[in-house]
Amino acid sequence: MTVTEATNPQEWDAFLSAQTYRPFLQSWTMGEVYRDTQQEPIRLEVRDEGAIVAICLAILVPARRGRHLSIPYGPVLSSKLTAHSSQLAFDSLIQELTSVARTHQCAFIRMSPFWPSEFPSSPVPSAVPSPLHLLAEYLWYLPLTTPEPWNLELTAHSSQLQARTEEELLMAMRKTTRNLVRRAERDGVTIEASQDPSREIDHFIALHDETRQRHGFTPYTNTFFRSQVRRFAERGECTLYLARYQGEVAAASIHMHAFGETSYHHGASTHRLSKVPASYLLQWTAIRDALKRGDRVYNFWGIAPVTLDADGSPTVTDHDHPFSGVTLFKTGFGGSLLPLTHCMDFPLSARYHLTRAFELFRKWRRGF
């Protein structure tokens, strides 16, 4: 196996789209979004006999707490590799990433892979559990096909996949959620899928700033939002939804739809209209649009840690968790839990230990 810098966007995305797990955060376009925010993308590919068998998008983060390489939901290994070959590809990537990180004087590598929590089956000797998660590690997703493609490792084009109907999805919702969707329709809430997301992103940014102040979280920058919407919308892979009530924007969201999956990536709403269930109708509209596109998965992204009852219903186990408030909302639409492997760090210098001490304190302050 050989590891080299990737140069072909089409080959990169074609490989990603053929995998069981295909997070858009590892797409070529996402690397350009990070470049727009002054964070250099580093793209590595592993080839075996000329064919790509693994990819890894890493981001050079010049953070004050410690310069490092960040790997969002990567690397992505071929679904067709044997366990032994997967380990070889992974080890090859780690070796090259370490070389790149040292060249850029990084204190550590932070990897948050999009792998089910039981993978890899063997430990990574050089890694330590990260004090903080880089991205959501408890995902709630809604299968839009039967059988569930993530369980059977089927591609989006498999003849074995059958699209679920709107009626099936409605009946699988929690009764309260279904009633709130219908109430929003009766109350006159309207949902608009923006035809020009780059122009109307200001609606979202204004609501997101209000949401940030209300909940006190650290947001993405406005530059990040604008770049992500612009670059993915140019490819037809992003929709900005606006929920209006009596002419006023009550809620907004940014949805990504790439590689046969739709992701509810960013959301915001105004507290002044909190009693209007606009967000419920917004989500249902986005789910219906995903069905029409033929997507196989609707990903609600992060929720708080939960346990599943005998019937599959989730129960939050940590009510102080910052995601506990949105967990009831997201899980009400029906779906399944996908716990991911915890974020891992690869220390490269003594500076890492200062960063780790700072982040442990930060974790305690945030309630995680």
Interval 108-161: pLDDT, tens: 999 999 998 866 555 577 899 998 888 999 999 999 998 777 664 444 445 678
**DSSP line for 173-199:** S-HHHHHHHHHHHHTT-EEEE-S-HHH
Residue with tokens 């590891």: 3
Q: Say whether 79 sits in a helix, a strand or coil.
A: coil
How sure is the predictor about 173, in pLDDT bands with cuts at 50, 70 and 90? Answer: very high
Please check whether residue 127 is in contact with residue 91, taking contact to mean a CB–CB distance below 8 angstroms: no
- 311 CB contacts (<8 Å, ≥6 apart)? none
Dig out the tokens for 188 from the structure. Answer: 């006159």
- CA-only gyration radius of the chain, Å: 21
Averaged over 316-332, what is the pLDDT?
A: 86
Which option is the CATH number for 139-339: 1.10.3210.10, 3.40.630.30, 3.30.160.620, 3.60.15.10? 3.40.630.30
Report the C-alpha gap between 141 and 233 in whole angstroms.
23
Report the C-alpha gap between 316 and 138 in whole angstroms.
11
**Dihedral angle sign, alpha carbons of residues 80, 141, 132, 36:** positive
Please check whether residue 306 is in contact with residue 138, taking contact to mean a CB–CB distance below 8 angstroms: yes
How sure is the predictor about 27, in pLDDT bands with cuts at 50, 70 and 90? Answer: very high
Interval 222-257: pLDDT, tens: 999 999 999 999 999 999 999 999 999 999 999 999
In the chain, the DSSP E strands lie at 2-5, 40-48, 51-61, 68-72, 76-77, 108-112, 128-129, 138-143, 145-146, 162-163, 190-193, 238-245, 248-258, 261-269, 297-302, 306-308, 314-316, 336-339, 344-347
Instruction: Tell me the CATH architecture of domain 2-135+341-366.
Output: 3-Layer(aba) Sandwich (3.40)
Q: Which one has a higher pLDDT value, 150 or 259?
A: 259
Domain boundaries, the chain: 2-135+341-366, 139-339
Per-residue confidence (pLDDT) for residue 129, from 0 to 100 = 92
DSSP 116: B
Interval 329-354: pLDDT, tens: 999 999 999 999 999 999 999 999 98
| CATH topology identical between 2-135+341-366 and 139-339 | yes
In 3D space, the residue among 58, 112, 185 whose CA is nearest the CA of residue 340 turns out to be: 112
Interval 280-307: pLDDT, tens: 999 999 999 999 999 999 999 999 888 8
Report the C-alpha gap between 294 and 10 in whole angstroms.
22
